[in-house]
Amino acid sequence: MHSNLFLVVHKRPIASPASVVLGSTSHHLEQPYRLFRGPQYFLRWSGPRYLLYNMLCRLYIVKLEIGCGRLKGENNEVLMSLLGPDFALINPKRVCGTLHLSQSAHLADKAHEGKYNFSKDRSTELLLYLTAQRQISRAIEVAGIKADSEAVAWVSFSQVPDKLSDLVEPDESVISHLDFDYSLLGLEKSLLDKLSFDEKQKIVMTMTAALPVQSR
């Protein structure tokens, strides 16, 4: 266990997160997407169902590890060599809080177990959920780390690479809602300015959960 890297443990939900958040049943995944008409519509019914979703997210049986920090050196080649099917490196500025990262990780893992995954690797599947879109190349472009990245978030679906602690100095502050690009929500700035962080995060997480029923 890497004690110097913060750990988040959840258990797999008993129902589809998409159906829980969007108020449908796990047997009709197409229904919630019809109900989700856009971010503005979400604001009308977000409270109780979002709380229920968060509660179910704590009923998991498989451990995942997430963390973030600042790079100790300027050469990212060694860090990027750690990328693998079960280990993802993420641009922390594309994460809307640690709850968003944890949600995306669990949805990616659940998709692979349920055989409705879009990517052959869990690490790539994570990026698709994190960015709420199905195009792999676009997800990597938006949420992947770059050669000049100074900070990183990560998710491990199995064993955390031993070299990680030598390359990354833990720092939870690198995942901040102040750095997230909320223009991706497609809302007018005047409306965004009126929303709290919790309200904006709920919209982001609903879009993430709706990926399996997103129109092609």
Q: Is residue 151 part of a domain?
A: yes
* Better pLDDT: 78 or 215: 78
Q: Is residue 1 part of a domain?
A: no
Q: In the numeric block, which tokens belong to residue 132?
A: 């709420």
The percentage of the chain sitting over the pLDDT mark of 70, rounded to a whole number, equals 70
Least confident of 2-6, 76-80, 153-157, 158-162: 2-6
Q: Is residue 8 part of a domain?
A: no
Domain of residue 171, residue span: 17-213
Q: How many domains does the chain have?
A: 1
Q: Is residue 10 part of a domain?
A: no
Instruction: Specify the pTM.
Output: 0.73
Burial-class residue 134 by CB neighbours within 10 Å (0-12, 13-18, 19+).
Answer: middle
3-state class of 102 per DSSP?
helix
Q: Is residue 3 part of a domain?
A: no
3-state class of 84 per DSSP?
strand
Q: What is the rounded average pLDDT of the residues 136-145? A: 94
DSSP secondary structure code for residue 191 in this structure: H
Q: Is residue 5 part of a domain?
A: no
Q: Is residue 32 part of a domain?
A: yes
Asked if 18 and 213 count as a contact pair (C-beta separation under 8 A), the reply is yes
214 phi-psi bin (left φ>0, alpha ψ -120 to 50, beta other): beta
What letter represents residue 196's amino acid? S
CATH number of the domain at 63, please.
3.30.2380.10
* Better pLDDT: 191 or 125: 125
Using pLDDT thresholds of 50, 70 and 90, give the confidence band for residue 61.
Answer: very low
Q: Is residue 12 part of a domain?
A: no
Using pLDDT thresholds of 50, 70 and 90, give the confidence band for residue 40.
Answer: very low
H/E stretch holding 88: strand 87-90
Asked if 164 and 82 count as a contact pair (C-beta separation under 8 A), the reply is yes
**pLDDT, tens only, 16-27:** 443 333 332 232
